[in-house]
Structure 1
Amino acid sequence: MINVNEYFDGAVKSLGYASAEGKSTIGVIESGEYEFGTSSHETMIVIEGELIALLPDNNEWKSFTNGQSFEVPANSSFKVKATAQTSYLCKYK
């Protein structure tokens, strides 16, 4: 079953699915700044565009572009900024 997710008044949309590797979402983020909370470990992979992330226990924003990824531990929060529409794949553990 494919789940449709929408956050921040439609500025972030994703499709959730299960694969042989586990649960994942693939989505698009509109320009803006957003804060997300995690309930499980997440690996975010930028497919196209750029996400500028402020990760837990970090004081500096870091840029991630096509093919780059970052990890966020379970039960934490992180912020991302996008200057243009950006697509991503998020894998959950």
Structure 2
Amino acid sequence: MITENQYFDGNVKSLGYETIEGKSTVGVINPGEYEFGTANKEIMHVVEGELIVLLKGETDWQIIKAGSSFEVPSSSSFKVKADVQTAYLCQYR
């Protein structure tokens, strides 16, 4: 089954699906700054564009360019800034 997700007044949208390895979403983030919470470990892959990321407990923002990824532990949160529309793949593990 494919699920549709929408966050932050439609500025972040994704389609969810499930494989043998677990749940994943593919989506697009509009320019802006957002904070997400995690229930499970998340592996975020930037497909196109770039994200500026601040992980919980960190003080320095990281630039994650297309082709790169970052991980967020379960029961955590992270902030992202996008200057351009950015496509991503998020794997929940």
TM-score (norm 1): 0.98
Q: Does 1:16 align with 2:10?
A: no
* Structure-1 separation of matches of 2:84 and 2:66: 13
Structure 2 unaligned runs (5+)? none
Q: How many residues align?
A: 93
Partner of residue 81, structure 2: 81
Gaps of 5+ in 1: none
Moved over 4 A (4+): none
For 2:50 and 2:12, how far apart are their aligned partners in 1?
Answer: 14
SS in 2 for 1:90: strand
User: What's the offset of the Cα at 1:21?
Assistant: 1.7
| TM-score where L is the length of structure 2 | 0.98
Percent same amino acid at aligned positions?
Answer: 62
Partner of 1:59: 59
The structural deviation recorded for 1:19 is: 1.3
